[in-house]
Structure 1
Amino acid sequence: MKTLQLTLGPVLFYWSRDDILRFYSEAADWPLETIYLGEAVCSRRQQLRGQDWISLGQELAQSGRQVVLSSQALIESESDLRRLRKLVENGTLQLEANDLGAARLARQQGQAFVAGHHLNIYNADTLALLQSLGARRWIPPVEMDRDTLSAVLAQASANGVHIETELFAWGRLPLALSARCFTARHYNLSKDDCQFRCMEHPDGLRLNTREQQAFLTINGIQTMSDGCHSLLPHLPDICAMGINALRISPQWQHTAQIVLGYRQAIDAIASRNAAEVDLSPYSDSLLVDGYWRGTAGIAAIGETRHAHS
Structure 2
Amino acid sequence: MAGRTLRITLGPVPYLWDGEAWRDFYFRIADCAWLDAVTLGEVVCSKRIHFTQPFIDAVANRLADAGKQVSLASMAMVTLEREAMLTRKLVEASPWPVEANDLSALGLLSGKPHLVGPFVNVYNGATARMLASRGATRICLGPELPLASVSEIIAASPGTDFEVFAFGRLPLAISARCAHARAKGNSKDNCQFVCQDDPDGLAVDTLDGQSFLTLNGVQTMSHTCQVLLAELPALQQAGVSHIRLSPQHCDMAQVAETFAHVRDLRIDASEGEARLRAIYPDVPLSNGFHYGTAGADWVPAAAEQVSA
Q: TM-score, normalised by structure 2?
A: 0.91
Determine the structure 1 residue equivalent to 2:89. Answer: 86
Determine the structure 1 residue equivalent to 2:45. Answer: 42
Provide the rounded CA distance (Å) in 1 between the counterparts of 2:192 and 2:236: 45
Provide the rounded CA distance (Å) in 2 between the counterparts of 1:101 and 1:301: 37
Task: Give 1:85's aligned amino acid.
Answer: R
Show structure 1 runs of 4+ deviating over 6 A.
none
Query: Is 2:124 aligned against 1:126?
Result: no
Task: Give 1:133's aligned amino acid.
Answer: R
Would the alpha carbon gap of residues 58 and 48 (structure 1) be closer, same or farther in structure 2, given more than 3 Å must change?
A: farther
**TM alignment of 1:1-309, pairs within 5 A:** 1-30=3-32, 31-48=34-51, 52-107=55-110, 110-157=111-158, 162-268=159-265, 274=268, 276-277=271-272, 278=274, 279-283=276-280, 284-302=282-300
The alignment partner of 1:117 has SS state of: coil
Residues 237-287 of structure 1 show CA distances to partners (whole Å, capped at 9, x for unaligned) of 112222101111111122111111001111127xxx756322111223110
Shift of 1:92: 2.3
Provide the rounded CA distance (Å) in 2 between the counterparts of 1:104 and 1:50: 24
Provide the rounded CA distance (Å) in 2 between the counterparts of 1:5 and 1:145: 20
Would the alpha carbon gap of residues 83 and 49 (structure 1) be closer, same or farther in structure 2, given more than 3 Å must change?
A: farther
C-alpha contact (below 8 Å) 1:118/1:141 kept by paired residues = yes
Residues 24-61 of structure 1 show CA distances to partners (whole Å, capped at 9, x for unaligned) of 01000112110110000001113445574345323321
The alignment partner of 1:44 has SS state of: helix
Provide the rounded CA distance (Å) in 2 between the counterparts of 1:81 and 1:204: 26
The alignment partner of 2:293 has SS state of: coil
Residues 11-36 of structure 1 show CA distances to partners (whole Å, capped at 9, x for unaligned) of 00000001101100100011211011
C-alpha contact (below 8 Å) 2:178/2:188 kept by paired residues = yes
Provide the rounded CA distance (Å) in 2 between the counterparts of 1:298 and 1:14: 24
Q: How many residues align?
A: 295
Determine the structure 1 residue equivalent to 2:306. Answer: none
Residues 197-254 of structure 1 show CA distances to partners (whole Å, capped at 9, x for unaligned) of 0000000001111121111000010000000000012112112222101111111122
What are structure 1's unaligned runs of at least 5 residues?
Answer: 305-309
Shift of 1:74: 0.7
Provide the rounded CA distance (Å) in 1 between the counterparts of 2:129 and 2:113: 14
Residues 179-207 of structure 1 show CA distances to partners (whole Å, capped at 9, x for unaligned) of 01011110121100001000000000011
C-alpha contact (below 8 Å) 1:289/1:300 kept by paired residues = yes
Would the alpha carbon gap of residues 58 and 111 (structure 1) be closer, same or farther in structure 2, given more than 3 Å must change?
A: farther
Provide the rounded CA distance (Å) in 1 between the counterparts of 2:57 and 2:92: 10
The alignment partner of 1:39 has SS state of: coil
C-alpha contact (below 8 Å) 2:27/2:62 kept by paired residues = no
Q: TM-score, normalised by structure 1?
A: 0.91
How much is the aligned-residue C-alpha RMSD, in angstroms? Answer: 1.8
C-alpha contact (below 8 Å) 1:96/1:116 kept by paired residues = yes
Identity of aligned residues (%): 39
Shift of 1:6: 0.4
Provide the rounded CA distance (Å) in 1 between the counterparts of 2:52 and 2:250: 24
C-alpha contact (below 8 Å) 2:6/2:241 kept by paired residues = yes
Task: Give 1:71's aligned amino acid.
Answer: S
C-alpha contact (below 8 Å) 2:19/2:55 kept by paired residues = no
Task: Give 2:297's aligned amino acid.
Answer: A
Provide the rounded CA distance (Å) in 2 between the counterparts of 1:6 and 1:15: 23
